[in-house]
Structures are given as C-alpha cells and as structure tokens.
Amino acid sequence: KILANTVFLGKDIIYMTECHSTNEIALAKIKDGSVKEGSIILTDKQTRGKGQRGNRWYSEPGMNLTFSLVLAPVFISPQDQFDLNRMVSKAVKDALKLYAEGVMVKWPNDIVHETQGKLGGILIENSLTQSRIETSVVGIGLNLNQVDFAFPGPTSLAVLSGSQVDKWDVLNDILIEIEKRYIQVKKGKTDKLREAYWQDLYRREEWAAYEDDSGTFEGMVTGITEEGRLVIQKKGGKVNQYAFKEVKFL
Ligand code: BTN
C-alpha cells in the first residue's frame, strides 16, 4: 500500500510480519546507517514490545497498529525534547478524532478515551548531543480492532466506534498529522504546539485523585512546564511539579 498524502513521512516503509520491537529495529538501523528520516518500521506482531516505564507492550497480533518512525529533529534542543512528545501525542489524537469521539491525550503521552480507558501509547527514544537531538525513534502502539483484552483498562477504536477500522487509513492519517506538527515546530511555532497540547489534555483543570511519594491526594492539573513536568495543585495544599514516574493518576 502506498501512503501518498505526506511529503516525507512514511515514504519508506519497512514491513515485518514479526519482530521483537519496532523501536529496537529502528535503533539498530539508525546505528548501521540503513534508514533515513521519515522511514517507518511496521509490524503485525512484536514478541518483546517495549512500553513506558520499562514495561512491556502487549498487543494482539494482526489486530492493531504497531510501528516506529525515524526522525532527525536536529532543530529541537535537548531541553525542549518534550516538544516531541507533545507533537506526536497531539497528532495521534487529532488523527483519531476522525474515527471516534472523546479521544484525549493523558500526560505525558498516553492516548486515552475520556471515560473508556487507554487506546494506545507512545515511546520516544532520543539520541542526544549537548546541543541537539540527533535522532528520534517514535514508537506508536494503538489498539484498533482488538475487542477482547486480557485485563481491564484498555479499549480500542473498534470498541469505541462499533466497527473495524483500516490500519492503513489510520497510519496515513497519523503520519499526515505528525508531519504537520513537525513542520510547525521546525518553523519555530512551538508556542502554538504547547498550547494545543495543553488544550487537549485529559483531566486538565479538574479535581481528581493522584498518588505521589507522600500518598494519595485530591488535586487539579493546572499546567505543564516547558520541560514537560506536570503541575498539580493539591486540594488545600501547595502546588507540586512532577516528572514522569513521580505521580500516578488514580
Ligand atoms: C506505553 O507504554 O504506553 C507506550 C507503548 C509504546 C508501544 C510501541 S508499539 C511500537 C513501538 N515498539 C515498541 O517496542 N514499543 C513501541
């Protein structure tokens, strides 16, 4: 299948029926110089899919979308690397709007339905120098047509919309949106991206339950710092900033 609606993303698709992890394959190919920017590694089945926080990513073979995109975002400095997360999660969210309502971004870069659970996730692995991001592997795993899950929590586009979706259509729509955001940031319009990410955020300015080092608490997400930390106002208490892994959504 030809993905024709982008300028440079996904023009080169490396498809594997099975692999351990598309992120690992992309990293290896960057190392040996056999991929260029915009290439994607796509598979039907991962035997050792990687998730955030060192977790595994499980996905029913053949049912879902599992791929990694190779970027060279040299115009983004290491201290701004969270902009890549913003860019990709906002883009995925916008693409999925075409298939289901109520899709949101949960900090830092989970794709969730506002009430029905997690649709997918993003794992970005950057290679940095002092001054810039040399390469970035953007791994995206999304539940499309899977309707049975081994444990509660996840959902899929098919569950939400009641019908099966075409994997290639979704892939194409996602690449179009990522490319748009990528060009936006390349042109220096980072503020627009940051605002757009914030506007779409799950539980933005709502009271909800969280857990940190000191236990569980009621809090309200009131912002995201430039570096991507989550700002939470504790009910009757102070405002805290959290890095990834320092706070849990309950
Ligand atoms: C998460 O934990 O939410 C992130 C999941 C990221 C999974 C994707 S699937 C394609 C790519 N290859 C991997 O090994 N992981 C990412």
Query: Which tens digit of pLDDT belongs to each residue from 32-64?
Result: 999 999 999 999 999 999 999 889 999 999 999
- pLDDT at residue 217, rounded to an integer: 96
Mean pLDDT over residues 213-225, rounded?
96
Mean pLDDT over residues 215-243, rounded?
96
Cα 11 to middle of ligand 1, angstroms: 21
Query: Which tens digit of pLDDT belongs to each residue from 201-212?
Result: 999 999 999 999
146 CB near ligand 1 (under 6 Å): no
CATH number at residue 69: 3.30.930.10
Mutational pocket test of ligand 1: of 22, 44, 57, the residue with most ligand atoms within 8 Å of the beta carbon: 57
Q: Do 111 and 44 lie in a common domain? A: yes
Cα 122 to middle of ligand 1, angstroms: 6
Residue 6 lies in a domain: no
190 CB near ligand 1 (under 6 Å): no
pTM of the model: 0.95
Q: Do 142 and 168 lie in a common domain? A: yes
| Those residues with Cβ within 8 angstroms of residue 127's Cβ, 6 or more apart along the chain or in another chain | 30, 133, 134, 135, 136
Q: Do 104 and 171 lie in a common domain? A: yes
Final residue of a domain: which of 199, 220, 237? 199
Residue 1 lies in a domain: no
CATH number at residue 225: 2.30.30.100
Mean pLDDT over residues 227-248, rounded?
95
Q: Do 174 and 136 lie in a common domain? A: yes
H/E run at residue 222: strand 215-224
52 CB near ligand 1 (under 6 Å): yes
Q: Do 132 and 244 lie in a common domain? A: no
23 CB near ligand 1 (under 6 Å): yes
Q: Do 173 and 233 lie in a common domain? A: no
Q: Do 148 and 215 lie in a common domain? A: no
**Count of domains for the chain:** 2
- pLDDT at residue 191, rounded to an integer: 96
Is residue 2 scored above 80 in pLDDT? no
Range of the domain at 233: 207-249
Cα 65 to middle of ligand 1, angstroms: 10
10 CB near ligand 1 (under 6 Å): no
Query: Which tens digit of pLDDT belongs to each residue from 95-133?
Result: 999 999 999 999 999 999 999 999 999 999 999 998 999
Separation of alpha carbons 100 and 116, rounded Å: 12
Is residue 1 scored above 70 in pLDDT? no
